[in-house]
Structure 1
Amino acid sequence: MEPEDDAIKSLFVQNTAQGYKLLGLALLSLVLMFADSRFDYLSKLRFYSAVLVTPVHVVAAIPARINEWGRGAFSSRSELLNENAALQDQLLETQFRLQKLEHLSAENRRLNALLNASSDVQELVVRAQLMGESPDPFSKRILINRGVNDDVYVGQPVLDADGLMGQVTEVQSLHSWVLLITDPQHSTPIQVNRNGIRAVASGTRDTLHTLTLVNVPNTADIREGDLLVTSGLGQRFPAGYPVGVVSSVRVDTGKPFAEVLVQPTASIDRSRNLLLVFAEAPDAAAALPTAPADGSSELPGGEEAAAAEGPEAEILETDALEEESVADDDSPAAAEVESPAGEPL
């Protein structure tokens, strides 16, 4: 029994010694942790320890890197094709969004320019949108999305952000046709903004971007770069709207008139947002009195009496006075009445 007792005693002694060692290491760890948190004594030691352990980390990561390289090297051709197709789709979608962004930015600039243009116009304006163009190659007309329901009328001026575009020539319920100022059948009364010289600008058959001034004398003071605006004559276009800029002036001494070409200020082939100009409120025409079918007047008594006192009433009154004067001169008191034989009665 003695050998067994000795073994038990030695095991107990060893366990007790290991317990003391564990306790000592735990206390040392607590002391080091406290010193590290309160003081900076162990920062360098921690740095150099990390440097010494770095090779161990690299060696430990080698299997994971080998595995990742193997998967990339031995991936199937179908996976690469699928990934390439997905990237191409993503690229196309990104390009599409970029194009849309550019379009929206340009549209924003055009709307801002249109807003500034509408603020310069004194009359009432209504925004319209370009819907289409005439398929006839000899007619320069555009279709807009405003019609009778929007109080559009024939002859109404149409502008864009830069100047005069044309006038309405045909009105439908929801759409209207606009004849452009560059159409050869369209003429616009204009005046030179610099000196007030009046002329007529007509469209040309060959191009969409050129106007010509009709019957301008060779001695007219018109120069290249002059701004032409509507003169207001003809009571169709209000005065002051930009029409074009003189691009060239050719004077031939053998001809009585100069050849003056004008470039329109409006973006004839690019504008999509337009302005319909109302000289007065759209419902003002409906408020005007109209004559009935039987020809009788519907004016109130006061207005009818005032209307009767116009120039025609003055003429009638003058004629009545002349007749009274003649009657006074032909009365028996003023002249003798002779018989057919010539003797006084």
Structure 2
Amino acid sequence: MSINLRKANSLAVFGSGTIAARCVKLLRDMVDAEIYVYEKKQSNVSILERSLSHIAGVHYGEVGEGLEAEILEVNPAVIFSINNVYLFPGSLAERVPILNYHNSLLPKHPGRNAEAWTIFSQDQTAGVTWHFVDAHVDTGNIVAQREILLSPHITSIRLLSLQTQTAFNMFQEILNDLCRGEELPRRKQEERKDIKFHFSWERPNDGMLSLAWDISQTYAFLRAMDYGKLALLGVPLLEYDGIRYSWERYALEPSPGDAAFSLDLLHDTCTISRDGESVRLFGLKQDTSQKCDQEKGEESAMFDMQELLARKEGRKEGRKEG
């Protein structure tokens, strides 16, 4: 399927956040067509909806039932998928060209939260891929890729910011090509059996820092889980002597000593040392979520027991009455 923006009457964008809003505004400036924007909301507040509410020719809606039929009626020349969590039906991808932005160098790290998995895997490079959508997830033909060299101290929130800006720059280049009537490249992805798909609910090591890791892997885990105040993957934890702890910040420091682990509850710090380096955790505090879950479980078990006893008593009374 070819894409002709110069003759397009309508376009569609699926996505969310600032990056999607910036791309829609660029489309509005470059293409004379109606733009239909769809978002699968993750919360009640939508940056995308607020950013586009005043722009003429842009129609905002939420992802819902009957969407495929609506899209086919709109008949967009192309669908752009930008920071989008909605999974397109294969039947739609066969009828309308769909271009998706993914924040890794596919085929590596398909799925969600690729920036975190890139750091946790201690990859030397990250990147951005724009690709066509096919019947599967993150497997379509590649249009463009750009590599990002990783510093040894980069965090997920910082990498995500770099990828977002890189993706926008690439989007500008792709739009320029389409507006000139050029055909986009379509390079088939390399098939690799060692590639693991990352689901939205997965976290590196299930969000738990392992004391069996070397310092390099420990530091990679801390940086992978670091989304600042956003905490997109939740709060990472350390378990020691049956108690789980969270922390406010961390640091990598030189250490002249041998392998060691120390927990200083007086100063709320933890130090993990190996091979001349240490990771220090500051603002240590006991995690109460596990206790709350345990209490909820105990309350639920108590309720079940009381209900069971009540039912038994009811059956006894029923037999007496009968």
TM range (shorter): under 0.3
After TM superposition, the score normalised by the length of structure 1 is 0.23
Q: Answer 1 or 2: which has greater helix percent.
A: 1
Larger radius of gyration: 1
